[in-house]
Amino acid sequence: MLEGVSRSAAVGLVVVPGGVGLAADGQRWAVPTDDPATLIAQVEERLAPRWTFWAARGVFVGAHLARCHDLAAVHRLLEGGWREDTGAVWAAAHERPAPAEPSRRPVASHGTGLLDLDGAEGTDEPITDAGQVAPTWADGRAFDVENPLRTERAARWAELALVVAGRQNRRLAELPDRRRTPSGPALPVQTAFSESAAALLAVELSRTGLPLDRATAETIVGDSVGPRPSSPAEELRLRAVRDDPVRAHLGPIDLRSNAQVLSGLRNLGFDVPDTRAHRLEPFRDAHPGVAALLDWRKAERLATTYGYRWLDEHVGRDGRLRGEWSAADAAAGRMTAQAGLHNLPAELRPAVAAEPGHVLVRADLGQVEPRVLAAVSQDPGLVAATRDDDLYAPVAAALGADRPTAKIAVLAAMYGQTSGAAGEALRRMEKAYPRALAYLRSAEEAGRQGRDVRTYGGRLVRMAAFGAGEDGAVTAARGRFARNAVVQGAAAELFKAWAATVRAGLAGTPGRIVLCLHDELLLHVPESQASSAAALITTALEQASGRWAAGSGVRFVADVSVVRRWSEAK
């Protein structure tokens, strides 16, 4: 098997129940096996290939894949949007219109039983005369057959994966490398590598889960919302108990109606445009009703979103909180997760705890978006500011302002705020950092005109979600979105390159990444490996940023801490 295939070659991989399909160098192999993990690990050790597959979720068998090309992840990088099914991936690679979406998920990963054998007739050819993926191959029915035919089809599917990868690689090579001193593979190619590794990491995160001390979590929930209700009637009674302290000040209103809450606040003399926490927090001490409302909101969030039902549904018997992860959202490409993993309230952080004999290693990128702006715009003044541990200190000096004003100025620049204190700060930024502001204005103008933009690393960010036309509000929204997307999207690329490098460094150890939260990594490692894991995080950031921002002179920093509970990290 794989005789004559050179080390580091691209190897197509498809895993189906009862077998594995492989392809490389114009050959393909249908390998029956009930233990694909061992087979893949053997090939990994012998050839160290770049595994090429349609989507990471279809090949996850527990074996560590060091180098990979995920066709779905690279397709979304090149094409933007959210489509990543095989029909769309094939069509884009061959410059054809995308077909209708399949009605069900394509080939499942190993361990899934056969689906419905009906409808698998006449599916030998995966590509139709029109040059599109046959519907039965796109929706997975082509694999609803008995072996050995199923494994033979897997090998054919692996062969076609290599065809798409070749076309995607040519597209990637045509994109500009925006680094000042390019080295190694072009930046868009490197972005494709890290996006592919992030797709594997997303599947691993979904399976591994986040360690959670359930007893602590239930105590936190109970202290805030009361004991676990024994019946629907008891749940309503506890809800009223939570509501009463607020209604004592705001009147007999429905606290779950924003309009009624706004009316109640106005009766107290607070004329605010909305009821968001950051809007109300400055008035906490001005009236006990505002304080009661803010406390109620935290309790209500725990009761309705992160309460007992949430714990029952998402925390397994092994004490791991699990939800499905995605390596990229449909906007600027940030990693996302379900089951509330990306929005865990601060109150629950004490419940995220290392298991006995283990610790959590937490790392947070410091002021990453301003540093990314310096790298992508190559503004010399902003690049110089990144050499400071606190970027806002030299920015404040350049603006002749205090640090809070400097922070407002940088955020206003990236998010397109133009009114009030933000507007004045932005005007100062224009003078101090003209190249950075020109970079952002160029993106904003493209968005206003409805033109898609590409991030520093090559991700296409589509403006179609905001609609077409010349409506002023839509035009402005597109502009602001594009202005922020070229920074946020680039920051997501750097983050995933960093996470992929950490993942590679953990290979062969019991340590695992258990959370990717915006700009923060959380590792769960044996206590004896805490120091080496912390050192790995720092080294990985130097390596990833050195490749991603080669020649920029920008310094990226991370705050690293070793803790027992997430809440202990500063």
Strand partners, 358: 526
Cβ-proximal residues to 450 (8 Å cutoff; 6+ apart), any chain: 463, 466, 468, 478
Give pLDDT, residue 469.
61
Token output for 199: 């797709």
pTM: 0.93
CATH class of 215-311: mainly alpha
- What's the DSSP call for residue 391? T
Cα distance between residue 313 and residue 295, in whole Å? 26
Q: CB 119: neighbour CB atoms within 10 A?
A: 14
Give the sheet arrangement for strand 558-563, strand by strand.
512-517, 520-526, 358-365, 558-563
Domains 215-311 and 322-367+493-568 share a fold: no
Model pLDDT, residue 439: 97
CA 435 – CA 546 distance, rounded (Å): 22
Neighbours of 117 (CB within 10 A): 11
Those residues of the chain that have pLDDT short of 50 are: 108-122
For the record, the structure tokens of 322 come out as 């699990």
375-394 residue pLDDT tens: 999 999 999 999 999 999 99
Structure tokens at 186: 């072009």
Question: CB-hemisphere CA count at 13 Å for 360?
Answer: 26
Domain ranges within the chain, ordered by starting residue: 10-174, 215-311, 322-367+493-568, 378-488
pLDDT for 109 equals 40
Assess contact for 157 and 54: CB atoms under 8 A. yes
Give the CA-trace dihedral at 405, 495, 55, 323, to 10 degrees.
-70
Measured CA to CA in angstroms, residue 253 lies from 181, 256, 262, 411, 555 at distances of 62, 9, 10, 37, 52
pLDDT for residue 425: 77
Distance CA 225, CA 307 (A): 8
Q: Backbone dihedral region of 336: left (phi > 0), alpha (psi from -120 to 50 degrees) or beta?
A: beta
Domain 378-488, architecture per CATH: Orthogonal Bundle (1.10)
Residues 6+ apart with CB under 8 A from 43: 1, 2, 11, 22, 49
3-state DSSP assignment of residue 67? strand
Check whether domain 322-367+493-568 has CATH 3.30.70.370, yes or no: yes
Which among 295, 260, 262, 236 has a CA at the least distance from the CA of 252?
260
